[in-house]
Amino acid sequence: MTQNYEKLPQDAFTRIPRDTQEAEKISKPSVSFWQDAWRSLKKNKGAIISLILFGLILIMSFVGPMISPYEPNDQTITHANLPPKVPVIENFGIMDGVGTLGGREVDMYELKNVDQNYWFGTDGLGRDMFSRVWKGTQVSLFIAFVAAAIDMLIGVIYGGISGYFGGRVDDVMQRIVEILTGIPNLVVVILFILIMDPGILAIIIALTITGWTGMSRVVRGQVLKYKSQEFVLAARTLGASDTRIIWKHLMPNVLGVIIINTMFTIPGAIFFEAFLSFIGLGLQAPDASLGTLINDGYKLIQYQPHILLFPAVVLSLIMIAFNLIGDGLRDALDPKMKD
Amino acid sequence: MARYIGKRLIYMFITLALIATFTFFLMKILPGSPIASADKLSPEQRAVVEARYGLDQPLPVQYFDYMFGLLQGDLGISINQFKGADVTDVILSRMGPSAQIGFQGMLLGTVLGILFGMVAALRQNTWVDYGSTIVAIIGISIPSFVFASMLQYWLGLKWDLFPVALWKDGFMSSVLPSIALAMFPLATAARFIRTEMIEVLGSDYITLAKAKGASGSEIAFKHAFRNALIPLITVLGPMAVSILTGSLVVEQIFAIPGIGEQFVKSIMVSDFSIIMGTTIFFSVFLIVVILIVDILYGVIDPRIRLSGGKS
């Protein structure tokens, strides 16, 4: 090989002098933490499908009651207990308005002389299940989001103060949290529901009264970890105020954990709301949430399984979607998992 | 270690005292008189009834009476649901079915969950793994009452395999409720064991075991499984919570005469002393379980050193 050097045309090569500037140049555009997180989240099929699914459910919870020709609380007694019937799908033998009556399969719509279609059927009072289910979804999601937001707010402030100031403040604040977390969540929620008038507000307060402790612990842990690091020390040396250090330097680092934690708080809140409604401590009629709808449906499970089916499916889908999104976000945002 | 346990015990008592105090005053400020049809009674009759339940005493006296009673395991007297019965007796008499389905559910869930998790970890990224992950996600996501009503509808009503409800056929009656309660522990254990196993399988001592020629099953069971199993103790606490929460609805759905069903009923008829008693009973149960779990963890795994402060 070496002998053939002379045969190479010398003018085909030019010398490229190394530029000292070149070494400083970054070849790839720098990827911010969030762009990187979004990239790894996009690779997670389950999380993306869940995100789309949840988006659809969220849209339907607002659009659903509107596109249905019936109001969620309108009662049409003559149309009671109709099975679901959807125009096109009915030809495939499902959702065709056929129900069992006295052990025989009959087209309930023909029997009761109903011309309209109820996509999800009707309940025992002749209320349209389609608009009720989506209205209920809206209520359930509202409760869950507000509860999660309050949890987040209190948790972040409490945990942030406790972690950042440390010392005696931290000691006292942590003892309080330790005792609070010792009280079983279930017990607190039920007791609070008992003393307050049942309703959306009562459920939200009951859910948040001890719900924030989890968040405060996580935030405190993160703040403790970061506040002793060099970049915070540097900021302080340069004369940054406490507020600036907290918002500009600590918050961006803690944000990932806050988001992950919130993503797991929301399904928890949805579950508890449904749970409370199921044991009769939730919303009162005629208001409906997914939990009360499931409770109503459960009572008629033997004869009208469709009343239970739709809210149960929507509730389960929301729960699955949130758990998968939460998992995906944790993988994408948690720096520990990246090693 | 002794110091840690002592500290935890002190916290436990503070927490319990707080819960008891909180429930006591909560029940006092609740609207309505605990005595049924109180307004129909003449003042004399009323005084007799109040004296019978100690309601004529000033509030602090009632409070201390109650707290002293608690220390002796006396939870007071049921006021309207089981006229005059001891709350402690009511709860104890209903413990059997609850304990049975709770224990069976826990056992079934953890054993199946460990199995699922192990298989998933050993056959990582195959359909076995994906299948078990899907089961785990569904188990964590679907609320126990939805799952319980599905079981009741399909296995009980449609296929007639098990009794639909009630507590009449001994073990057979307990099958469906136990399965319903098992879902959460199953899913939690499966996820947990899978992650742990994968981590352990990648560690140096597994490579060493392979290098010295240990067989696949020997590595899986003797080396990986045992180490993956230990951290599972940490999730026993949340599992116990889920079983208890689940029992409230599952017992309701299957009409099982247990504590959960009792509790829901007492809320409906607002029998305050039963609500208080059950609340305290639940709290004691959960707090003790979590304490035992924490202590066990330190005893079983010497690598974990329990220290006073939390990291």
pLDDT at residue B308, as a whole number = 39
B143 in reach of chain A (CB within 8 A): yes
In angstroms, the CA B138 to CA A40 distance is 23
Q: Is the pLDDT of residue A178 over 80?
A: no
- A316-339 confidence digits (pLDDT tens): 889 888 888 888 888 887 655 443
Q: What's the gap in Å between the CA of A80 and the closest CA on chain B?
A: 22
Least confident of A65-79, A209-223, A265-279: A65-79
CB nearest A278 (choices: B141, B145, B268): B145
pLDDT mean over B291-295: 81
- Which member of A174, A183, A323 has the closest CB to residue B140? A323
What pLDDT is stored for residue B136 in this prediction? Answer: 84
Q: What is the structure's pLDDT at A339?
A: 36
Tell me which residue of A188, A196, A174 sits closest to B19, measured CA to CA.
A188
Confidence tier at B310 by pLDDT (50, 70, 90)? very low
Residue A246 has pLDDT above 50, yes or no: yes
Chain A positions touching B30 (Cβ under 8 A) are 194-195
CB contact under 8 A, A186 and B282: yes
Per-residue model confidence as pLDDT tens digits over B31-74: 655 555 556 667 777 777 767 666 667 778 888 887 887 787 77
Give the pLDDT of residue A52.
92
Q: What percent of chain A has a predicted confidence (pLDDT) above 90? A: 5
Is the model's pLDDT at B234 over the cut of 80?
A: no
- Reported as half-sphere exposure (CB side, CA atoms, 13 A), residue A232 has a value of 18
pLDDT tens string A143-158: 999 999 999 999 999 9
Of A294, A308, A319, Cβ closest to residue B141: A319
Question: Cα distance from A177 to chain B (closest Cα, Å)?
Answer: 11
B245–A275 C-beta distance less than 8 A: yes
How far apart are the CA of A32 and the nearest CA of chain B, in angstroms? 28
Average pLDDT over every residue of B75-95: 73
Q: Is B306 in CB contact (< 8 Å) with chain A?
A: no
- Beta strand residue intervals within chain B, DSSP E: none
Of A48 and A284, which is predicted with more confidence? A48
**pTM to 2 decimals?**
0.79
Overall average pLDDT of the A189-213 stretch: 82
Å between A313 CA and nearest CA of chain B: 9
Determine the pLDDT at residue A113.
67
pLDDT of residue B32: 56
Residues of A in contact with B287 (CB under 8 A): 182, 184
Contact A334/B at CB under 8 A: no
Whether pLDDT at B307 is above 60:
no
In sequence order, what DSSP letters do the residues of B37-67 get, joined into one string? TGGGS-HHHHHHHHHHTTTTS-HHHHHHHHH
